[in-house]
Structure 1
Amino acid sequence: MIDSYAGSGDVAVAIAGARAGADVVRRMYGQRLNHIDKGAGDFATAADVAAEKTILGIISAARPDDAVLGEEGGHQGAAEAVRQWLVDPLCGTLNYAVGNMLVAVNVALRDGAAAVADPFSGEVFFTDGEIAWVRRDGAYDVQLTPTPATRLVDVNLDPPFPSAPGFRAVDLLAHPEFIERFRPRFVSTTLALAWVAAGKRAAYITDGHDLSRSVHFAAGIALCRDAGCVVTGIDGAPIGETGRGLVVAADHETHGLLMSMMHSRS
């Protein structure tokens, strides 16, 4: 069922998909779920698969001509489709599998609307491609306002580390200025990106390749951009197909400080 939203259109589809996926994830939480091995230590659970199936059903019903790239099912729809949705039905599978509630459901139209749902807080963070909001308890919407006030910086320490030894996130944590100015956090899910947009984190840092087109990161990046965050690669360049990593900060001062520390460690 598509959400009622003043902007309607694609953002309503993104919200509906994320909320429906979150409902599945929350309902299956705590059950004994089979692990589906994906190699290199990665795995999915039955909750990942069920949530993605539910999300894809909503997208296909509302946008039958669009293609979808799902974390579990891969590419679906016509190869020549002009539009593509990126779906990560359960970001933080390892957290979820061990009973940790720090997970997210990510739905994004490439270069368009996006939504990130927190299955356990009931929050849905979303953007129509211009302005980012959060919907709490399905009742009201508040525009997202990033701020560095918390001084909390979420750092992704999960392998692989394609930019090592030139850049390693763990080195940043030992930088004297980082210790003085910030406090690290390790959520291990891209829910942390939504928290930067919402002012719950000052920044988020991760390594990786072409993250703007990743099912894991696309929705969170869209939220942060439209909320007014500073979004670059770990080298300070715009993120894109040739970009490396991701640095998202609530403001230019925080971004500049982090980039200075990262470059001095290199």
Structure 2
Amino acid sequence: MSITDQAVAIAAAEAGAAVVRARFGSPLTRFMKIGNDFATTVDIKAEEAILGVLRGARPDDLVVGEESGRTGTGDNGRTWLVDPLCGTVNYAARTTLVSVNVALLTGTGCAVAASADPFSGEVFWTDGGAAYVRLAGTDERLVPSAESRLVDVNLDPPFPSRDVFLAARMLADEDFIEQFHPRVVSTSLAVAWVAAGRRAAYLTDRHDLSRSVHFAAGIALCQAAGCVVTGLDGEPLHTGGNGLVVAADERTHAALLTLVRRQRPGPA
């Protein structure tokens, strides 16, 4: 019996999560990237484990990994996006708020995705039609909810849209504080939490997120779960606009867009 794409995504994310979990607290070698960004030996080993699963199950597909870049020679319109450890800074500081993300892009968008929490044992996944969380072999349908009023914001640089929106300014907005409860997790695991009803919303000003190794899986989960997912202007993500607003419902989404627009400079 052939293995389905969603099963491959889950297996790959679980393989990476196993490495991340097993090596937690061990000495880490850091490899500097741009600015203060860095990878560790665990990022690399987790990505190797993920690629091992993908290469074994889908040898003809392309893979784009955060650490290894683009690999494979296939030309079938299928590309796997791999983020082996989202929250590397957290992990290096022995904080367990991290995720392992795997997503498959096809000509019609993100077909399947999985986002694994190495320390809870949960895997959030979608087959493109609905979204689920798997724990101890049992799948439960994800249902978004804004009841918590918790809104996660991304404070990690760079800030490409700072002239029109900066998350740090949002934290000082009295109306934002009155309506919501701001949180900063610093990992895209918080995007999956919106799909699961554990966050009311998530905000970031990062660019071109629909094909991002960091965000593609979480975005796919939220879209499949029925969340409202747009750019900072309320435009669809595929139009190439700036940033990301993911909300559990239309009311929350509208309130956040109003707060975002207040940061934009007025006419001279």
User: Could you tell me the TM-score, scaled by structure 2's length?
Assistant: 0.95
Query: How many angstroms apart in 1 are the aligned matches of 2:34 and 2:259?
Result: 34
Query: For 1:64, what is the secondary structure of its paired residue?
Result: coil
How far off its partner does 1:45 sit?
Answer: 0.5
Question: Per-residue CA shift, 1:108-136, capped at 9, x if unaligned?
Answer: 00121000000000000000011000001
1:76 counterpart (68, 71, 78): 71
Query: How many angstroms apart in 2 are the aligned matches of 1:14 and 1:121?
Result: 18
Query: How many angstroms apart in 2 are the aligned matches of 1:38 and 1:173?
Result: 28
Query: How many angstroms apart in 2 are the aligned matches of 1:50 and 1:60?
Result: 15
How far off its partner does 1:208 sit?
Answer: 1.2
Query: How many angstroms apart in 2 are the aligned matches of 1:175 and 1:36?
Result: 37
Question: Per-residue CA shift, 1:47-71, capped at 9, x if unaligned?
Answer: 0000000100100110111000000
How far off its partner does 1:80 sit?
Answer: 2.9
Partner of 2:58: 63
1:218 counterpart (191, 213, 216): 216
- Check whether the contact 1:126–1:223 (CA below 8 A) recurs between aligned residues: yes
Query: For 1:141, what is the secondary structure of its paired residue?
Result: strand
Query: How many angstroms apart in 2 are the aligned matches of 1:80 and 1:62?
Result: 16
- Please provide the CA RMSD for this pair: 1.4
Partner of 2:8: 13
Mapping 1:155-170, distance limit 5 Å = 155-170=153-168
Query: For 2:70, what is the secondary structure of its paired residue?
Result: strand
- Check whether the contact 1:69–1:75 (CA below 8 A) recurs between aligned residues: yes
Query: How many angstroms apart in 2 are the aligned matches of 1:157 and 1:210?
Result: 17
- Check whether the contact 2:61–2:75 (CA below 8 A) recurs between aligned residues: no
- Check whether the contact 1:175–1:265 (CA below 8 A) recurs between aligned residues: no
2:171 corresponds to which letter in structure 1? Answer: L
Query: How many angstroms apart in 2 are the aligned matches of 1:146 and 1:74?
Result: 33
Mapping 1:80-95, distance limit 5 Å = 80-95=75-90
Does residue 185 of structure 2 align to residue 187 of structure 1?
yes
Unaligned runs of 5+ in 2: none
Number of residue pairs aligned between Structure 1 and Structure 2: 260
- Check whether the contact 1:156–1:205 (CA below 8 A) recurs between aligned residues: yes
Query: How many angstroms apart in 2 are the aligned matches of 1:142 and 1:50?
Result: 30
- Check whether the contact 2:210–2:216 (CA below 8 A) recurs between aligned residues: yes
Percent identity, please.
59
Question: Per-residue CA shift, 1:173-232, capped at 9, x if unaligned?
Answer: 222221111010000000000100000000000011101000000000000000000000
Query: How many angstroms apart in 1 are the aligned matches of 2:146 and 2:68?
Result: 37
2:89 corresponds to which letter in structure 1? Answer: L
Query: How many angstroms apart in 1 are the aligned matches of 2:254 and 2:35?
Result: 35
Query: How many angstroms apart in 2 are the aligned matches of 1:225 and 1:56?
Result: 26
How far off its partner does 1:8 sit?
Answer: 5.1
Query: How many angstroms apart in 2 are the aligned matches of 1:136 and 1:157?
Result: 30
Partner of 2:44: 49
Partner of 1:239: 237
Partner of 2:176: 178
Partner of 1:98: 93
Partner of 1:200: 198
- Check whether the contact 1:105–1:117 (CA below 8 A) recurs between aligned residues: yes
Question: Per-residue CA shift, 1:121-178, capped at 9, x if unaligned?
Answer: 00000000110000012x2110000000000000001111111121111121222221
- Check whether the contact 1:125–1:133 (CA below 8 A) recurs between aligned residues: yes
Partner of 1:116: 115
